[in-house]
Structure 1
Amino acid sequence: MEYLTGFGNHFATQAVEGALPVGRNSPQRPAFGLYAEQFSTTAFTAPRAENRRSWLYRLRPAASHPPFRPLDAASRLATAPLERGAVDPNRLRWSALSMPDRPTDWLEGLTTYGGNGDAASGAGIGVHLYAANRSMERRAVQFSDGELLVVPQIGTLSITTELGRLEVPPGHVALIPRGLRFAVQLAGPSRGYVCENYGAPFRLPDLGPIGSNGLANPRDFEAPVAWFEDVEDDFQVIQKFQGHLWQTTLDHSPFDVVAWHGNSAPLRYDLARFNTIGTISFDHPDPSIFTVLTSPSDTPGTANCDFVIFPPRWMVAEDTFRPPWFHRNVMSEFMGLIHGEYDAKQGPKDGKGGFEPGGASLHNQMNGHGPDAVSTQAAMQAELKPVKLEDTLAFMFESRSVIAPTKAALALNELQRDYDDCWGGFEKARIP
């Protein structure tokens, strides 16, 4: 499958030669009788450097559909502001979601674990996990409340969007713009994580003193080439709008964009291409040094959401406690593990619980957390020599606001109610 490369680039691609107009975005008569449609994910008047929009040339306008009506279906998908009581300060951890025992597609398999902010006011995030075992057939979905950052953990996702197709295996992520219609096909049982970003669109972080190179490189992000299908058959379109699911039925495929150009597009990124930066002298660097994407807030330097990864890397710092230190901070952290072992949660190995691939943890702002007792003792006693952490890939959705867990997440069998025990067994320091 071919891809276009770059983050924020203005792409131009056509599935049929001559479909793209030359020199005009919305000509009076587009080629082949196509319809010109602008897709905007920022305000029209956003500064040019931040403005995101694409022009689509399609077989039928997206506006051509019957009214949406409420979708009467049981769903564990929720949107901030969440209905909630008092949010307690306790740290939470879940084992990996069980695979469904009945046919379940990607949309049906979503469970909201938590969220913050308010989708209606354009601030905050929703955090979802999915477990699914069948493809979306003759069905598409659009999330109008926020853009999606999809992180597969098991199973490759084949994501068909209005602008083309993405293959997203574990170890990659997909970024799907707010309001874009898409469908997810599966090759088998699949599981993973989703951040629904209600705030400013994700962008690459500024590098500051790092300079011009490092972290995620723009050229490594891949957008799809134009692809379309001309299918005349009933097709269900589901829209998530203001926290509720709505549906309508088309008499044709919504994936009928023959050509497009612009800079608002779905993207995929291979996390193995992240250029990890770290210390070569002493002290463990702040986790912000591992930021792949950021959604800024109105407070400079304090993100609505950061997407941070902990990939394979060399550890060489001298006289240093190398795992993440114990800390309390103003950011709230929702963490997941794609594969391997996280270096701050190494034990105990009892075959149950623990921080396992597909699992998740939530540490809200100003509540102490850090390595478990086993990891702490190992790090304090280790002979410090260069060591490469391999076969590991963890990540965080980190937000400036408290992430309130949902009632559904707190009722899951996968919730580890003994999570606090991992910080037991610390010996008291001895003062001479």
Structure 2
Amino acid sequence: MALAGNGYQPGFGNHVSTQAIAGALPLGRNSPQVAPLGLYAEQLSGTAFTAPRAHNRRSWLYRIRPAAMHGHFAEYEQTRFHNVFGAGKVSPEQMRWSPLPLPESATDFIDGLVTYAGNGGPESQTGIGIHLYACNRDMQDRFFSNADAEMLIVPQLGRLHIETELGVVDVEPHWIAVIPRGVRFRVSLSDGQARGYVCENFGALLQLPDLGPIGSNGLANPRDFETPNAAFEDIDGQFELINKFQGHLWRAEMTHSPLNVVAWHGNYAPYRYDLRNFNTIGSISFDHPDPSIFLVLHAPGPVAGVSNLDFVIFGPRILAMRDTFRPPWFHRNIASEFMGLIDGVYDAKAEGFAPGGASLHNCMTGHGPDAETFDKASAADTSKPDFIRGTMAFMFECPLVIRPSEQALMASHRQTEYIDCWQGLRNNFRG
């Protein structure tokens, strides 16, 4: 039985009140002596109780059975999904992968997760985990909860129907979904197979960036983010709960579906966003703004102005700068960059970077356009604008070195000759 959706409410971080049945929300008290309709009151907190009001995230859930009801936990083996980023040597070489192959046997979202890279972890509550997923089966009689991190899900192929404790989130390529830490959910595949990217954020919660001199409008607008209305199922049976805790997976049996929240109110909930609603800001005179101008969401870090995680997109846009090299310029960053491609062609690469693929350029590793792109852009007529259409690339950026996993380094779809794309750059010096 599928959990029925019940629409969405707009706005990022809004306090939402929603009920699937009239009268399920108590009036005036969060935890009355007897909750309405025989429900249990339960608070789900995503920040410290004493966090400032503007940053405090929590929701009150009114559910058929509380989350404490499940069997004993035992280890669950899914060896490809983990937080083992290693403490050994990390090569500064540029790295790139072809799309993650789709599975040949029945594989659901959880078993289809493959860890590519990361840093930090749940113990330090800092850093990120970067994973790709490829699956061809619905999650059947099983649910997942991540106690280590909130999960930013970026579909590349196929639609995901994500049923959570707080409602339904439907996403497809060009959309993103964020599932908060601790929220239980299951994933169905609307098209029979799916592939995409997942970033675990171990640090402070994702939020919209401040706009500074841009002013009050631009980039991602709060009203375009959507939070689900309450939806529930009241089902008894044999189910399993997979819980990620301290970098490991654990399994417990349940005799009922955990998606039994009839009503909730608060500001700690899943949400989704259509990347095509991003209001791109750019130069209309000369030169480029820094890529931070493409920032959708960020998770603040311990140093003011430096994020634990930046989520940046490169979508359709118009390049009008005159006498300017318009593709991304050659650069080396203090930050480390993991890129993915959702659709189309990335304007800094002529070939090799395919939708569903990925690249990693770590701290102070030089990168930029390949030789073919450089030659084409250098000869372009910049008196006319370039219309960048039919593309959507993104980047997970982090101030810490992003450490590739052993399985990503050894993957058969890793492009070990990626560095060759720059070898054709000629010496054009005319001194």
Q: TM > 0.5 between the two? A: yes
Paired with 2:356 and 2:231, the residues of 1 have a C-alpha distance of 32
Paired with 1:36 and 1:118, the residues of 2 have a C-alpha distance of 31
Of residues 35, 51, 56 in structure 2, which corresponds to 1:30?
35
Which residue identity lines up with residue 119 of structure 2 in the other structure?
Answer: N
Which residue identity lines up with residue 105 of structure 1 in the other structure?
Answer: D
Matched with 1:107 is 110
Paired with 1:262 and 1:75, the residues of 2 have a C-alpha distance of 36
Matched with 1:138 is 141
Task: Report the secondary structure of 1:175's partner residue.
Answer: strand
User: C-alpha displacement at 1:284, in angstroms?
Assistant: 1.4
Residue 57 of structure 2 is aligned to residue 52 of structure 1:
yes
Matched with 2:395 is 396
Matched with 2:362 is 364
User: Does the CA contact (< 8 Å) of 2:121 and 2:247 recur in 1?
Assistant: no
User: Does the CA contact (< 8 Å) of 1:165 and 1:227 recur in 2?
Assistant: yes
Of residues 339, 353, 356 in structure 2, which corresponds to 1:355?
353
Kindly report which structure 2 residues correspond to 1:47-86, keeping only aligned pairs within 5 A, or say none: 47-71=52-76, 73-79=77-83, 82-86=85-89
User: C-alpha displacement at 1:118, in angstroms?
Assistant: 2.5
Paired with 1:305 and 1:74, the residues of 2 have a C-alpha distance of 26
Paired with 2:250 and 2:27, the residues of 1 have a C-alpha distance of 37
Paired with 2:139 and 2:429, the residues of 1 have a C-alpha distance of 60
Kindly report which structure 2 residues correspond to 1:140-159, keeping only aligned pairs within 5 A, or say none: 140-159=143-162
Kindly report which structure 2 residues correspond to 1:238-387, keeping only aligned pairs within 5 A, or say none: 238-347=242-351, 354-384=352-382, 385-387=384-386
Kindly report which structure 2 residues correspond to 1:207-226, keeping only aligned pairs within 5 A, or say none: 207-226=211-230
Of residues 164, 167, 171 in structure 2, which corresponds to 1:168?
171
Paired with 2:386 and 2:369, the residues of 1 have a C-alpha distance of 18
Residue 20 of structure 2 is aligned to residue 3 of structure 1:
no
User: C-alpha displacement at 1:75, in angstroms?
Assistant: 2.2
User: C-alpha displacement at 1:22, in angstroms?
Assistant: 1.0
Paired with 2:13 and 2:131, the residues of 1 have a C-alpha distance of 26
User: C-alpha displacement at 1:36, in angstroms?
Assistant: 0.3
Paired with 1:106 and 1:118, the residues of 2 have a C-alpha distance of 22
List per-residue Cα deviations over 1:121-159 (Å, max 9, x = no partner): 100000000000000011000011100000000000000
User: Does the CA contact (< 8 Å) of 2:78 and 2:249 recur in 1?
Assistant: no
Matched with 2:92 is 89
List per-residue Cα deviations over 1:211-235 (Å, max 9, x = no partner): 0100000000001110000001111
Q: Which runs of 5 or more structure 1 residues have no equivalent in the other structure? A: 348-353
User: In percent, how many aligned pairs have the same letter?
Assistant: 59
List per-residue Cα deviations over 1:6-47 (Å, max 9, x = no partner): 101000000000000111111110111100000011010111
TM-score using structure 1 length: 0.97
Matched with 2:206 is 202
Paired with 1:356 and 1:58, the residues of 2 have a C-alpha distance of 44
Residue 17 of structure 2 is aligned to residue 12 of structure 1:
yes
Q: Which runs of 5 or more structure 2 residues have no equivalent in the other structure? A: none
Q: How many residues of Structure 1 are paired with residues of Structure 2 in the alignment?
A: 424
Paired with 1:335 and 1:44, the residues of 2 have a C-alpha distance of 35
Paired with 2:177 and 2:19, the residues of 1 have a C-alpha distance of 22
User: Does the CA contact (< 8 Å) of 1:284 and 1:323 recur in 2?
Assistant: no
Matched with 1:177 is 180
Matched with 1:118 is 121
User: Does the CA contact (< 8 Å) of 1:75 and 1:108 recur in 2?
Assistant: no
User: Does the CA contact (< 8 Å) of 1:79 and 1:126 recur in 2?
Assistant: yes
Task: Report the secondary structure of 1:49's partner residue.
Answer: helix
User: C-alpha displacement at 1:84, in angstroms?
Assistant: 4.0
Which residue identity lines up with residue 360 of structure 1 in the other structure?
Answer: A
